[in-house]
Amino acid sequence: MKRFLLTVMVVAFAISAASAQKRSGFAIYPYVNYQASDIPASASRTLEKKLLSLVTANGLAATESDFVITAIADIVEENVTNTAPAMTVAKVEIEIYLLDNAEKLIVSQKLFSQTGVGRSSEQAVNKAVGSLNVKSVEARRFMENARKKLEEYYAEKQQMVDSVAVAVEPAWFFEENIK
């Protein structure tokens, strides 16, 4: 059963990545640097899954790309409740970045504040990261704005390349005719 579900997920991911490249021309690879955040490794894995869900839900997922979506999560506040049994409340800020890796450019960024409650600090942080809703209006708006910024940036860049090519073309033509 697990193999079947894994196979279905991989096929859906591949189809989503292919359709994203056809629709917008931009595909985004999710990446989490496990050492960059001060959250437990299990929460980093959850965060990586959330980023994958975010790009897949918006039709932009890829297995490799010049565009990377990454996140850094920081534990802002941790409190232990005065209840029996004692519970830990963790407030986590998740900063999501969309990067153009080829141009070394931050395209867009968004801060999400999440809160989680658990019996241990690790469990509370995991629940906070897991509560990130990738289908929320805020997350969709972030992805739409990022897509628009990418399209505008590359349209502007294409105009600049075209104008340079037009300006340089007579020089190439002239050099060929001299020989």
**Residues of the domain holding 150:** 2-178
SS3 letters for 2-53?
Answer: HHHHHHHHHHHHHHHHHHHHHHCCCCEEEECCCCCCCCCHHHHHHHHHHHHH
- Tokens 């658990």 correspond to 118
Q: How distant, in Å, are the alpha carbons of 6, 36, 48 from that of 10?
A: 6, 27, 15
- H/E stretch holding 121 reads helix 121-130
**Separation CA 98–CA 62 (nearest Å):** 14
Closest CA to 89 of 53, 113, 115: 115
Q: What is the pLDDT of residue 23?
A: 45
CATH number of the domain at 130, please: 3.40.50
Closest CA to 12 of 55, 64, 47, 42: 55
Q: Looking at the 3D structure of the chain, how many domains does it have? A: 1
35 CB neighbour count, 10 Å cutoff? 8
The series of mean pLDDT values per 10 residues for the chain, 179 residues long, is 50 47 67 85 92 88 84 93 92 93 87 95 94 92 88 78 62 55
pLDDT digit string, tens, across residues 65-110: 888 999 999 999 999 999 889 999 999 999 999 998 888 888 889 9
pLDDT value at residue 155: 82
Q: What is the largest CA-CA distance in the chain?
A: 90
Among 88, 93, 65, smallest CA distance to 78 is for 88
Per the DSSP assignment, residues forming a β-bridge with 31 are 70
